[in-house]
Amino acid sequence: MVKLAEWRGKEIFRKYGIALPEGHVARSAEEATSLVSQGKVPLPCVIKAQVLAGGRGKGGAVRFASNAEEVRAAAAAILGLEFKGEKVKEILLEGKVAIDRELYVSLTLDRTLRLPILLTSAKGGVEIESVPDEQILRQPIHPFAGLAQYEKRRAAAFLGLTGGPAKSLGPLLDSLWAAFNGEDAELVEINPLAVVGDRVIALDAKVVIEDDATFRHPEYAEVRDDRTPLEEVAREKEIAFVQLDGNIGVIANGAGLTMATLDVLMQFGGRPGVFLDLGGTDDPAKVAEAFLLMAKAKPTAVFLNIFGGVTRCDTVAKGLVNAMEKLPAQDRFPLVARIRGNNENEGVEILRAAGITSIPDLKASAEATVRAAAARAAAAQGRTA
C-alpha cells in the first residue's frame, strides 16, 4: 500500500485534468512566505500539513492566513507539529476558495462484487465512515464498460447538483476513473469535493497506490514512507517483515500460519514484536538472511514455526544453523523451534545436532516461547536493578 501525501495526490489529479485550487508545497516558513510574496499562492490562503493521518482540521494541522506575516507564523507552527505520531516536514499552501457546498466522491475496490465502486455523498468534509449508508450512493463500475453517462447523471442527481456544477461533475468523474486505472490505485478519494461558483473542484486528495502494481510505476518506489527501515531492507530481500509493538520475534512461512502463530502467542500472554514470513523458499541462504534480519530487531525471544511445503524443513534448519553460527554472542536470542511437514525428520535432526529441540505441538511450543521471553526479560531486569 503506497499512501500518497495530499500534494502528490493532487499532482496526479492535475495530470488527469481534475480541477484544483492553485497550490504549492513548502518545507520551511521562509519558503512559504516567499511563495506568497512572489504571488505564486494567492491571499488569503490555506496552509495544510502534509501528513497521511486524517482529522487535520480539528488537530490544528490546517490553518488560514491573510497576509505574509500570518503565513510565516502558521507555516512555522504547523512545521513544528508532530501530528498523530508523524512529524510534519511539508506543508501545502493553496489560495482560499469560497465554498458553497462540500461533497464526497471516491473510487475503490468492492472485494465482494469483484468490481470497482464509485461512492458519492452530499456529506463531504467529514470521514466517510461516519456517514450513514443511506446517504452514500454506491455504483459498481464494470471494468470492461467503464463509467457510463447515466452513472454520472445519477451521481449528480444524488448530490443535488444542477446547472454548471452538475455539468462539471461528469468530466471530473471521467478523470477520476482514468486516474484510478492509469495509476493502479486502490483508492482515489476527493473529500471534500467543493462546489465553488459554477463548478466542482477537489479541495483534498487521497490516493493509495497498489503495492503489487509498482512494477508498472517505478516513480512510486521512492515515495513510500509507511515502512520502518528494517521493513524496507526485508522488502528488498523479498521477505515479508512487519514490526509490531511487542518483544517476541516470529518466523513462520505463509501469511495465514504467521497470523495464527501470533494469535496463539497472544493467548499465552506473549507480545509479538516482529513477524517475518519466509514465504515459499528452498534456499538456505535466504533463511539465514531472514534470521540475521530478525536479530537486528533485537527480539527478547524468537519462535520459529514452519509447516514445510514448498519450503522444506531441512532447508530452514540449515539456514537457521548457519545464521546462528554467524551471530555474535551479544546478538543471540533464545529460540523455540517447531518444524513440521515436508522433510520434517531431516530438519529436526539438523537442529538436534546444533543443540536445538523442535517441539512438534503448536500449543506447547508457543507456551515455551512465552516462558523463554519472560525469563530473559526478568534476567535483564535483574542486571539493571
Partner 1 sequence: MTVLIDADTRIVVQGITGHQGTVHTRQMKLFGSKVVAGVTPGKGGTTVEETPVYDSVQEAVDRKQANASCIFVPAPFAKDALIEAVDAGIRLSVVVTEHIPFHDMLVMYHYARARGARIIGPNCPGIAAPGAPSKVGIIPNVVFRPGRIGVISRSGTLTYEIVNGIREIGLGQSTCIGLGGDPVVGTSFVDGLELFEKDPDTDLVVMVGEIGGTAEEDAADYIRHHFTKPVVAYIAGRAAPPDKRMGHAGAIITRGRGTAQSKQTALEGAGVRVGRFPYEMPQLVADVLKEKARR
**Beta partners for residue 196, in sequence order:** 199
Catalytic residue among 104, 183, 186, 344: 104
DSSP conformational letter for 8:
H
Indicate which single residue of 277, 289, 314, 367 sits in contact with partner 1 (rule: CB under 8 A): 277
Q: Which stretch binds partner 1 (CB under 8 A): 30-38, 82-90, 284-292, 360-368?
A: 360-368
Size of the site for partner 1 (CB under 8 A): 54
Residues 113-172 that bind partner 1 (CB under 8 A): 114-116, 129, 142-144
212 binding partner 1? (CB under 8 A): yes
266 binding partner 1? (CB under 8 A): yes
Q: What is the 3-state secondary structure of 281-322?
A: CCCHHHHHHHHHHHHHCCCCEEEEEEEECCCCHHHHHHHHHH
**Beta partners for residue 139, in sequence order:** 118
Distance CA 45, CA 95 (A): 4
Q: What are phi and psi of 320, to 5 degrees?
A: -65, -50
Per-residue CA distances from 248 to 20, 217, 252, 363 (Å): 47, 36, 13, 16
Active site residue 189: yes
Active site residue 6: no
Nearer CB in complex with partner 1: 74/316: 316
State which H helix or E strand residue 73 sits in.
helix 68-79
Indicate which single residue of 361, 375, 377, 380 sits in contact with partner 1 (rule: CB under 8 A): 361
Kindly state the smallest distance separating residue 136's Cβ from partner 1, in Å.
Answer: 13
Q: Which stretch binds partner 1 (CB under 8 A): 20-28, 42-50, 77-85, 107-115?
A: 107-115
Burial class from Cβ neighbours inside 10 Å (0-12, 13-18, 19+) for residue 322 reads middle
86 binding partner 1? (CB under 8 A): no
Nearer CB in complex with partner 1: 291/307: 307
**Sequence-ordered list of residues with C-beta below 8 angstroms from that of 344, at least 6 positions apart, any chain:** 308, 313
CA angle 88, 92, 98 (to 5 degrees): 135
Catalytic residue among 151, 189, 289, 344: 189
Catalytic residue numbers, as ranges: 104, 189
Interface residues toward partner 1, by CB under 8 A: 1, 109, 111-112, 114-116, 129, 142-144, 181, 184, 186, 210-213, 215-216, 240, 242, 244-245, 252-260, 262-267, 272, 275, 277, 280, 282, 307-310, 340-342, 361-363
